[in-house]
A = this chain, B = another copy of it.
Amino acid sequence: MARIVMKFGGTSVADVEKIRNVARRVKRESEAGNEVAVVVSAMSGVTNQLVAYVNEAAKLHDAAEYDAVVATGEQVTIGLLAICLQEMGVKARSWTGWQIPVHTDATHGKARIESIDTSQIEACMKTGEVAVVAGFQGLAPGNRISTLGRGGSDTSAVALAAALHADRCDIYTDVDGVYTTDPRIVKAARKLDRITYEEMLELASVGAKVLQTRSVEMAMKHHVRVQVLTSFADIPGTLVCDEDEIVEKALVSGIAYSRDEAKITLVGVADKPGVAAGIFGPLADAAINVDMIVQNVSHDGKTTDLTFTVGTADLEKTKKVINDAKAAFGFKELIADGNVVKVSVIGVGMRSHAGVALTMFRTLAEKGINIQVISTSEIKVSVLISEEYTELALRALHTAFELDAA
């Protein structure tokens, strides 16, 4: 007997027939003698509709009222799933965030979970009753409803698994696991059996879109074993776990890419102390995340070029902020380029093995792909290249790092 938290996203509960499908999976785990809590998202499309209503009511709105509106999506799903389970003869009941309660801070719209009181649901689970829990929501101070921000149901599931000391947290999604790279682009992509939290974190943050970043951070912190698998087929998924659970560590576990990058080059920036702060200070004030930064060596001892990347959604805002701050530090020209992609090779094996960056650069060079910006971390090497080379680069690197399926 194990204690399991299962989580199903919006596409897995998109209509009643799909919810029934979810109920069948839950029933199987419950009838196998496991204690089961299920966390569900809103039916796909519902949250977007609710957010649209709120924005139609007022562009700038009270986040507490926003939360009261959008939290209803998950409440619908838990009731329907509980009914489907009962219909199949499985004891079940629904739990909203305030009923459990899942205590959060008061940051409405992006609340953080502070604690989960598991006493009631543990008591129910011990009687064989499945706890059907609304993801994405909690109870803020003052008895108000809060939500965790988009994708927050993954975080709810992992936080609940941690609080319940669950044996594992199964995240069902519309992909069947974590792949070495995007299988839509690289046919030879392989599904990984296991991946470390750190690698998953890098994959998530560079756009692999499988798990929400915060949920992986939380899993890592509390050592929650997370399994990513599909709700549409009966096949094993990918286990996200501690490094010591992985015996044979690959040098490179996966190759990620993100098209959501824009490159900005400031030509002819004065090469003197304080200039970088003069540029990045106003960007930080405007809540614009700067990712990669590279500064060329000085041309003439007086001026240099500075290149950095921001999310494409922030490109226009960034240009405005930089141009507004121009007087403070001065530059000759601002060149913006949205046609770039960030490609990253990721692997905990890199820590103990040099040469990954070299293999990456050589592989790209052989294909005639120019590297515009480079950044590295302990377990990741990222390069910015022209977007048109995305597929070519991914396939070449996938082969070079021996990730291709046999």
* Contact between A16 and B53, CB atoms less than 8 A apart: yes
A57 touches which one: B19, B99, B145 (CB < 8 A)? B19
* Contact between A66 and B53, CB atoms less than 8 A apart: no
Nearest neighbor of A17 in chain B, beta-carbon distance: B56
* Known pairs A16-B53, A76-B50, A98-B98; A84 contacts B58 (CB<8 A): yes
Which B residues are in CB contact (< 8 Å) with A64? 93
CA separation between A399 and B217, bound complex, in Å? Answer: 76
Which B residues are in CB contact (< 8 Å) with A72? 72-73, 75-76
CA separation between A286 and B188, bound complex, in Å? Answer: 60
* Contact between A69 and B61, CB atoms less than 8 A apart: no
Nearest neighbor of A77 in chain B, beta-carbon distance: B69
* Contact between A82 and B65, CB atoms less than 8 A apart: yes
Q: Determine whether A380 belongs to the interface, using a CB cutoff of 8 Å to chain B.
A: no
Instruction: Kindly provide the distance from the CB of A319 to the nearest chain B CB, expressed in whole angstroms.
Output: 20
Copies of this chain, whole number: 2
Instruction: Kindly provide the distance from the CB of A266 to the nearest chain B CB, expressed in whole angstroms.
Output: 30
Q: Determine whether A86 belongs to the interface, using a CB cutoff of 8 Å to chain B.
A: yes
Q: How large is the interface on A (under 10, 10 to 19, 20 to 34, 35 or more residues)?
A: 35 or more
Q: Determine whether A231 belongs to the interface, using a CB cutoff of 8 Å to chain B.
A: no
The interface bits of chain A over 237-273 (1 if a CB of B lies within 8 angstroms of the residue's CB, else 0) are 0000000000000000000000000000000000000
Which B residues are in CB contact (< 8 Å) with A341? none
| Chain B CB within 10 A, most for which of A72, A79, A96 | A79
Q: Determine whether A94 belongs to the interface, using a CB cutoff of 8 Å to chain B.
A: yes
Nearest neighbor of A81 in chain B, beta-carbon distance: B57
* Contact between B57 and A68, CB atoms less than 8 A apart: no
* Contact between B98 and A83, CB atoms less than 8 A apart: no
A66 touches which one: B20, B65, B73, B79 (CB < 8 A)? B79
A20 touches which one: B50, B57, B84 (CB < 8 A)? B57
CA separation between A72 and B20, bound complex, in Å? Answer: 21
Nearest neighbor of A43 in chain B, beta-carbon distance: B53
Q: Determine whether A402 belongs to the interface, using a CB cutoff of 8 Å to chain B.
A: no
Which B residues are in CB contact (< 8 Å) with A384? none
Q: Determine whether A388 belongs to the interface, using a CB cutoff of 8 Å to chain B.
A: no
Which B residues are in CB contact (< 8 Å) with A83? 54, 57-58, 61-62, 65-66
The interface bits of chain A over 75-115 (1 if a CB of B lies within 8 angstroms of the residue's CB, else 0) are 11011101110110000011010110000000000000000
Q: Determine whether A296 belongs to the interface, using a CB cutoff of 8 Å to chain B.
A: no
A-B contact pairs, 13 of them (CB 8 A): A53-B80, A58-B84, A61-B83, A61-B86, A61-B87, A65-B93, A68-B82, A69-B76, A69-B79, A71-B75, A72-B73, A72-B75, A96-B145
